[in-house]
């Protein structure tokens, strides 16, 4: 039996509208790590006044994330990564998060 390639994989509604956008959010946070860190640092320092004191950091973070969320190329990149992980799971039966974990040195 021939292996399916990424173009032939059918994606369910939940994959297109939930799982791939979730991957996009995770990757966008990595790409906007500097802005995430600045906002987190500001919130930690501002305490309960963070809504007022951290407006600039929050706006910069939202702008950075939105650029990625609205980029069709970024969606396509995340979709292809999701498909590759899905195909690998179907082939091996091991989820990607489990493949990335180190095996214990002793039982």
Report, as an integer, the average pLDDT of 83-89: 93
Say which residue, 58 or 100, is predicted with more confidence: 58
Q: Is residue 61 part of a domain?
A: yes
Residues 11 and 8: their CA atoms lie apart, in Å, by: 10
Q: How would residue 87 be classed by pLDDT, with cut points 50, 70 and 90?
A: very high
And the tokens for 68? 């990625």
Q: Is residue 7 part of a domain?
A: no
Domain that holds residue 85: 55-94
Residue with tokens 């600045």: 38
Q: How would residue 59 be classed by pLDDT, with cut points 50, 70 and 90?
A: very high
Burial 61-85 (b: 16+ CB within 10 A, else e): beebbeebeeeeebbeebbebbbeb
Q: Is residue 66 part of a domain?
A: yes
Say if CB 84 and CB 7 are below 8 A apart.
no
Count of structural domains, the chain: 1
And the tokens for 41? 């640092």
Say which residue, 97 or 37, is predicted with more confidence: 37
The pTM of the full predicted model, rounded to 2 decimals, is 0.74
């Amino acid at each position: 039996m021939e292996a399916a390639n990424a173009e032939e994989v059918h994606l369910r509604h939940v994959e297109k509208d939930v799982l791939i956008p979730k991957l996009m959010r995770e990757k966008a946070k990595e790409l906007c790590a500097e802005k995430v860190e600045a906002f987190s640092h500001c919130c930690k320092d501002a305490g309960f006044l963070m809504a007022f004191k951290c407006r600039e950091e929050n706006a910069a973070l939202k702008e950075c994330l939105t650029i990625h969320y609205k980029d069709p190329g970024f969606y396509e990149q995340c979709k292809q990564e999701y498909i590759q992980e899905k195909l690998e799971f179907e082939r091996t039966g091991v989820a990607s998060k489990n493949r990335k974990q180190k095996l214990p040195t002793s039982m």
